[in-house]
Structure 1
Amino acid sequence: MGYPNDLLTSRSIIKHGGFALIPPEGLVNNVVPGFENCIISILASPKLGASFVDYIITMSEGGRTTKGFGGNGIETFVYCIEGKIKVTIKNEDYIIESGGYVYCTPTETMNLENIHGNNSKIFLYKQKYQSLEGYEPWVVVSNIKEQGEVDYDNMANVKIIDFLPKDLAFDMNFHILTFYPGACHPFIETHVQEHGAYLLSGEGLYNLDNTWIPVKKNDYIWFGPYVPQCCYGVGRENLSYIYSKDCNRDVIL
């Protein structure tokens, strides 16, 4: 980076246990054992107040994992933003490109390898799986192009894509939510579920705990439980983001 050219400023907002906005300008490279030739930033973690861990990773030429990621009760998920990667689970290889994703069960590990001629960019997630008697999740491999988008809450200018099956075996899901310019949530949401959202395109105004905050492509937002939240899509292109949501489970006391 070298010497700064202006005053040191940031759009970051960190409310531990509440919510966070993390723009790309402040991200640093985290050295994570088991990853080679990868630029890794840990976005959300229990240190922030999240019950999961989100990463944004640029895999350079030769980028790969050298040991299994997840397993031993930890479920994992990877989404390919750009490039092409190979995901290996239990000696079976899956090739995913932009828009492709893989969910790996908590009983298995996944290995990742960049097989693109240039860099590949991925969004990676892990969480401790909350089991449910009589149900076992399975590996899911797909692409958002195969899922298709539908209207969100009966609004034609807001679209949603669901990634995982609607089955009690899964204690979480991933979605892509897209707002056309001028579109918004139907109401201000206040709920027990957490989200970790990475903005894929566009600009918006997000209400986080009753404060309106401008957001844009490549920003990351963590939403803690019960934080009031909603947004408007603004600008010239659609506001679109991928996000996780815990589901299908009661609260553990």
Structure 2
Amino acid sequence: MGGFIMGYKNDRTGYQKTLLASRAVIKKDSFAIIPHDGLVKNTIPGFENVDVSILGSPRIGAGFVDYIATFQKGGKHTGFGGDGIETVAYVVKGKLKVTDGKEEDVLETGGYAYYPAGVKMMMENAQDEPTEVFLYKKRYQPLEGYEAHKVVGNTKDQKPEEYEGMKDVLLWDFLPKELGFDMNVHILSFEPGASHGYIETHFQEHGAYLISGEGMYNLDNDWYPVEKGDYLFMASYVPQAAYAVGRGEPLAYVYSKDANRDPEI
């Protein structure tokens, strides 16, 4: 069907019993909310037996590309990244084998891998059940005298940082604070009732995939409801902040941020 198949995340197709509606908000070069209800499957070379949807991309104004992918039994990618492109894989749920052709790692739920530019990441589902993975790629911006290196870890093995001194807002960093890295990936988690301390307005852009909970997100000074499975894009300088709502589950999302580089002119 022209490179896509309808109904990726909810498999809701055909005749509907309700009026069509969506929480999607797309403001190109500014921000976007892409709900899980309405995502479509994309046909992308390299993915085999994988349900995958393209989320953030240059077409929306991002300097990176994000995907959400469900690797079915035997599902794999034959070579993600390479040729100047750095990559990150984060396992939302399941078990994923990653390799650069030399070393092999198995990432379980909460696990992640960063491969530097020029190194292709081969991926394969490491269980019979489906494995859900958030994927990121970006063209690396070199800095003379510094370089990035492969990083593999799991958030379950880390002690989170209290975000700006707030005990009910926790932060996990994926990558070391080294100038060789031109970006980082984090998880930010808000207990119900918690929020950012202020409306942020900054140079860095974000792509964020919500992995749990419900909340209200401020984007360009309007508030929008968001929930697990939604994707957010935030361009440079877009005002942004979150409140967690709901019961019994934190609002948490995995997100990318460009870092450690001076703006080019």
**TM-score, normalised with respect to structure 1:** 0.98
**AA matched with 1:224:** A
Deviations 1:62-101 (A, max 9, x none): 10113x2111110000001111111011321111110000
Determine if contact 1:90/1:108 at 8 Å carries over to the other structure. no
How many positions carry a matched residue from both structures? 252
**What SS class does the counterpart of residue 106 from structure 1 fall into?**
coil
C-alpha separation in 2, matches of 1:175 and 1:139: 16
| Residue of structure 2 equivalent to 1:113 | 124
C-alpha separation in 2, matches of 1:148 and 1:32: 36
| Residue of structure 2 equivalent to 1:132 | 143
Q: Structure 1 residue 158: deviation in Å?
A: 0.7
Aligned partner of 1:30 among 17, 25, 42: 42
Q: Structure 1 residue 219: deviation in Å?
A: 0.6
C-alpha separation in 1, matches of 2:145 and 2:195: 39
The answer as to 2:77 corresponding to 1:71 is no
| Residue of structure 2 equivalent to 1:188 | 199
| Residue of structure 1 equivalent to 2:58 | 46
Q: After TM superposition, where is structure 1 displaced by more than 3 Å over at least 4 residues in a row?
A: none
Aligned partner of 1:166 among 157, 177, 191: 177
Aligned partner of 1:202 among 213, 223, 231: 213
C-alpha separation in 2, matches of 1:82 and 1:234: 23
Deviations 1:37-67 (A, max 9, x none): 000100010000000000000000110113x
Deviations 1:97-134 (A, max 9, x none): 10000000102110000011110000000000000001
Aligned partner of 1:151 among 144, 150, 162: 162
**What SS class does the counterpart of residue 153 from structure 1 fall into?**
helix
**What SS class does the counterpart of residue 78 from structure 1 fall into?**
strand
Q: Structure 1 residue 181: deviation in Å?
A: 1.0
C-alpha separation in 2, matches of 1:32 and 1:107: 20
C-alpha separation in 1, matches of 2:14 and 2:197: 45
| Residue of structure 1 equivalent to 2:253 | 241
**AA matched with 1:49:** G
**AA matched with 1:208:** L
The answer as to 2:125 corresponding to 1:96 is no
Aligned partner of 1:18 among 17, 24, 30: 30
Aligned partner of 2:188 among 172, 177, 186: 177
**AA matched with 2:254:** I
| Residue of structure 2 equivalent to 1:6 | 18
**AA matched with 1:31:** T
**What SS class does the counterpart of residue 42 from structure 2 fall into?**
coil
Deviations 1:188-226 (A, max 9, x none): 000110000011111111110000101111110000110
> For structure 2, which runs of at least 5 residues remain unmatched after alignment?
1-12
The answer as to 2:241 corresponding to 1:226 is no
C-alpha separation in 2, matches of 1:11 and 1:242: 20
Alignment identity in percent?
56
